[in-house]
Structure 1
Amino acid sequence: MSGFKTRITILNRLPDCYQKFFREWKYGPQAPVHYIPEEGKWKRNPETGEVKIIQNKPIPLTYPKEFDDGLWGGEALVRGFQKRKQLQRRVPHFWFPSLIKSVLHSEILDKRMEITVTHRTLRLVDQHYGLDSYILETPPQDLKSNLGIKLKRSLLLALAKQDFLPNNPAKREELLQKYQKHIIPLEEAEWYGLTLAEALEKLGKVEQPKVQGPAINQPLKIKFREEFIQQLKAEQEENQPPPPPSSKPSWASSLNPFKFNKSV
């Protein structure tokens, strides 16, 4: 719970547009993929007549590190139990999505990309009539992966700057009209799709003082320590006893035969 409070405190320093994106990305409700939600609040068993409450509880999903390198269309690893024989206990089991590599084209970025996808991802791309429409119209909590979020960030930046397809202005105007409802201000597009670490780094650059020199927000303990050290040095110099007066050697000392002569 303390980690959640710390994260919320850090988020409060960031712009409102990023706070909205981050909360949707990490905590927003996802579209049901691995279960079929039921309507209403209650249901009756037709055989026994028993009335039960409807609980549309999402199935917990596991996201491996390979998940961030592809577009899985809301699918992930499902962890559960499976009873393989009638007279044996159930055993742990993982259900893996079927992954394939496919080449998808972005008309805004004018690129063809080889991406690891699922069959559901391809169906969603077909339903949206293209990769760009699928990425722009899908909320961040359903894209979920870093690749999907970065692609959406690139598309939003291109639409906000309106500098894509420099050699084909007619096609650019056509795409701007097509995706007009997805155009957001450039200030918001620059914050969209950043991880929390990247957003804090960007915030530090924005808040960094323009003048060169020591940091303005220096901790007071460092300042007080330096002042205390200077004070101790000054007191030590004041309390230091004066050096003894130097006496000139007499002429008789030069006649001492037992004195070592350095010139020899």
Structure 2
Amino acid sequence: MAVGRFRKVQRAAGSFIKTNRFDHGEATLLPEAYKKFWREWKVMKPAAVHYIPEEGRWKRNIVTGEVLPIQNVPIPIKYPKEADWGLWGGEGVIKGFQKRHEYNRRVPHFWIPSLKRSVVRSEVLDVYLSIIVTERTIKLIHDNYGFDHYLLKTPACDLRSVLALKLKRKILLALFDKCPAYKDTPDQQTTIYEEYKNYLSAYTPEEIEWYGLTWGQAIQKIHWQQQVVNAPKPLKQKYRSQLIEQLKIHGIAEAQDGSPEQMPGHSWISKMNPFGKKHET
């Protein structure tokens, strides 16, 4: 089994313990904010798109009167890589069989959603975007009274595409900064912010920072953070700090202002420098 990609089963103390991708390598350093987004994106059950789920647990056959259990089995859907750079509204490619004639054998068939390029506008970002969408995406945008409302109301498992999550993250960051796209028009900035600010209540600043990142981007981000934290510091900074602390202990007046660079030119340190500028007394 590939580490970090598939679930591993480890045997410990006579029992089996299931682990996931967050239990190995640098993934153990990922914050809870990203784990929350990952559950919303990959674990949460998406809304039914290609079938109509039935309510209840049992149903009766109208013809025979037989009572049968209700089984809402999702249709297997394929999501090609092109789906990540468009807004398909949860639709995907369905693989199945089709019987095109009564006396012919069935043949494999793919049902592909109808795609077209359309222009949408983000009010929060104040930009127009040319994106590949489906008819269902346009309907969802109209039903939610705008592109921004559609992205902010829809969970990640239903948006699914990387582009949609990236745009949603940018919108959340812009809202957190109070719509900087309208900084030249304060009245309009206030109007837009008041309309969308209620969506911020569902997120903390850390959750917004990690929202919408793919697995590779999250690992790269945590790797960069670790490099910054563990970066070696120059020894001159260490020795400079030690020198200042020793001078403060011995009551040297010049050390009370901070680093040696901030000390005046007539200090005793400048007198010890043979190449420094000589001051007349």
- Answer whether TM exceeds 0.5 for this pair: yes
For the residues of structure 2 that align with 1:53 and 1:114, how far apart are their CA atoms? 46
1:210: how far off? Answer: 4.6
Figure out how many residues of one structure are paired with residues of the other and give that number: 213
8 Å contact kept, 1:12–1:19: no
More off after superposition, 188-197 vs 175-184: 175-184
Residue equivalent to 1:7 = 21
Q: Which amino acid aligns with 1:108?
A: V
Out of 154, 177, 182, the residue aligned to residue 194 of structure 2 is: 177
Where in structure 2 are the equivalents of 1:149-228 lying within 5 Å? 149-162=165-178, 163-183=180-200, 184-208=203-227, 209-212=229-232
Q: Deviations over 1:179-225 (max 9, x none)?
A: 12211333221111111111111112222335427xxxxxxxxxxxx
Separation in structure 2 between the aligned mates of residue 59 and residue 172 of structure 1, nearest angstrom: 44
Secondary structure of residue in 2 paired with 1:112: strand
In the alignment, does 2:85 pair up with 1:65?
no
The letter for the 2-side match of 1:122 is I
* Alpha-carbon distance in structure 1 between the residues aligned to 2:114 and 2:89: 11
Match for 1:13: what amino acid? L
Whether the 8 Å CA contact 1:161–1:186 is kept in 2: the answer is: no
Q: Confirm whether residue 55 of structure 1 aligns to residue 75 of structure 2.
A: no
Contact persistence 2:119–2:129 (CA under 8 A): yes
Tell me the amino acid that sits aligned with residue 177 of structure 1: E
**Partners of 1:211 and 1:63 in 2: how far apart?**
41
Instruction: Describe how 1:64-143 pairs up with structure 2 within 5 A.
Output: 64-143=80-159
Aligned-residue offset at 1:112: 0.4
Aligned twin of 1:30: 46
Q: CA deviation at 1:130?
A: 0.7
User: Which sections of structure 2, spanning at least 5 residues, go unmatched?
Assistant: 8-18, 234-281
Distance apart, 1:139 and its partner CA: 0.4
Q: CA deviation at 1:12?
A: 4.3
Q: Deviations over 1:79-126 (max 9, x none)?
A: 111111222222111001000110000111110010000011111101
Q: TM-score, normalised by structure 1?
A: 0.76
Give the secondary-structure state (helix, strand or coil) at the position aligned to 2:29. Answer: coil
Give the letter aligned to residue 199 of structure 1. A
Identity %: 49
Matched-pair contact (CA < 8 Å) for 1:160–1:185: no
Which of the two has higher C-alpha Rg?
1
Opposite residue 94 of structure 2, the aligned amino acid is: V
Whole-Å Cα distance in 2 between the matches of residues 6 and 22 of structure 1? 12
Give the aligned residue type for 1:136.
L
- Relative to the length of structure 2, the TM-score reads 0.72
* Structure 2 CA distance for aligned equivalents of residues 55 and 79 of structure 1: 20
Match of 2:60 in 1: 44
* Deviations 1:163-189, CA, capped at 9 Å, x for gaps: 332112211211221112211333221
Q: Greater CA deviation, 169-178 or 115-124?
A: 169-178
